[in-house]
Chains A and B, each alone.
Chain A
Amino acid sequence: MKVREICSVLNGELICGDYKNDNEVSHAFASDLMSDVLTVNCDSLLLITGLANLQTIRTAEMSDINCILFVRNKSVTPEMKTLAEELGITLIKCPLTMFRASGELYRAGIKPIY
C-alpha cells in the first residue's frame, strides 16, 4: 500500500516525505514502547504509534523503519520533522485511535509481522 492510500484510508495527513518516491508498505507494527520496536526484525515496516518525541524518530532510524504513523493527531515538533527529513523518514498523522487505525489498515490489507 502506498502512503497516499494509507492517508486516504485513515483520513490522515502527510507531515513530511513525499508521495513521489513512495515505497510500498506491506507490514505494520503498533507500539508506544520503543524498546519493543527495537526487537522487531522486518523491512519496509510502518510504525503505528501514539508516542511522539525525538526518540520515536531515532528508534525508526535504528530499526530501518521509513514510515511512521502518529495516531490521535499527536503533535510533531519542528525538531522531530527536521530529523525525519534528514533521515528520509516519512511522517503521517491521523485523528484515529491506535486500535481504529490498526483495524482500518488491517482491513485494507496491511499485514502484521507475526
Chain B
Amino acid sequence: MAMSFEYKVEGGDFTHAGYASSQVKKMLKQLGVDSTVIKRVVVCLYEAEVNIVAHAYSGTISVNLDTDTINMKLADKGPGIADIEQAMQKGFSTASPEVREMGFGAGMGLPNISANADRFVITSEPGTGTTLEISINLNSAAV
C-alpha cells in the first residue's frame, strides 16, 4: 500500500484552513489507523497548514503514505524564517492580530508539531519560503 496526495493552500485564506488536514484525517480513519496516532498526525498537519495560511503566501502539502509511515511535506512561498531556533521556542510569534483572532498566534504551533512528530525537519530560505517535513510512524501509539 503506497498512496500520495497533494493539496494547495492559500495564504490568508482562513475559510479553507484545515481542509487538507480534514481530508487526511478522513482517509486515515478509513484505513483503520489507531485514533491516537491519527490525532498526532492531524494536530501536526493542521498547525503546519494554519502556519502557511497565517505566515506565507501560498503552499503545497504533499502526503505520502506507506504501510507503516506517513510522510508530510509542506512547502511554501513566503517570507521564510530567519531564525528557526527562535521560531521553535514556545511563545515566539510574529502573528498578525487577524491570526490571533482565529485562535492562533501564541507561538505554540511549531513546538506542538515537534512534540507530536516522530521526525520533524524545518528548512527555510528567508525571502523565498519554508519547508516542513513531518513523519509519523503509523504502528506505534506512543509518542
Taking Cβ atoms with an 8 Å cutoff, the residues of A that contact B are 32-39, 41, 51, 53-56, 58-59, 61-64, 79
B36 nearest in chain A by CB position? A41
Interface flag for B103 (CB, 8 Å) = yes
A38 touches B47 (CB 8 A): yes
- Alpha-carbon distance A64/B21, docked complex (angstroms): 13
A34 touches B43 (CB 8 A): no
- Alpha-carbon distance A60/B88, docked complex (angstroms): 24
User: What's the least CB distance linking A43 to chain B, in Å?
Assistant: 8
Interface flag for B39 (CB, 8 Å) = yes
Q: A34-B102, A55-B50, A62-B43 are in contact. List 6 more A-B contacts (CB 8 A).
A: A38-B46, A53-B102, A55-B102, A59-B18, A62-B39, A64-B35
* Chain A residues within an 8 Å CB radius of B18: 54-55, 58-59, 61-62
Interface flag for B73 (CB, 8 Å) = no
Which B1-28 residues sit within 8 Å CB-CB of chain A? Answer: 14-15, 17-18, 21-22, 25
User: What's the least CB distance linking B116 to chain A, in Å?
Assistant: 9
B43 touches A51 (CB 8 A): no
A79 nearest in chain B by CB position? B15
B103 touches A51 (CB 8 A): yes
A59 touches B14 (CB 8 A): no
Binds A, one of B55-63, B105-113, B117-125: B105-113
Interface flag for B42 (CB, 8 Å) = yes
A62 touches B108 (CB 8 A): no
- Alpha-carbon distance A37/B104, docked complex (angstroms): 10
- Alpha-carbon distance A53/B102, docked complex (angstroms): 7
User: What's the least CB distance linking B8 to chain A, in Å?
Assistant: 17
A51 nearest in chain B by CB position? B103
- Given the interface pairs A32-B103, A34-B103, A64-B35, the reply to whether A58 lies near B46 with Cβ below 8 Å is yes
3 tightest Cβ-Cβ pairs between the two chains A and B? A34-B103, A58-B18, A35-B108
Which of A53, A55, A56, A64 gathers most chain B CB within 10 Å? A55
B19 nearest in chain A by CB position? A58
Choice from B17, B101, B104 contacting A35 with Cβ under 8 Å = B104
Which B28-82 residues sit within 8 Å CB-CB of chain A? Answer: 35, 39, 42-43, 46-47, 50
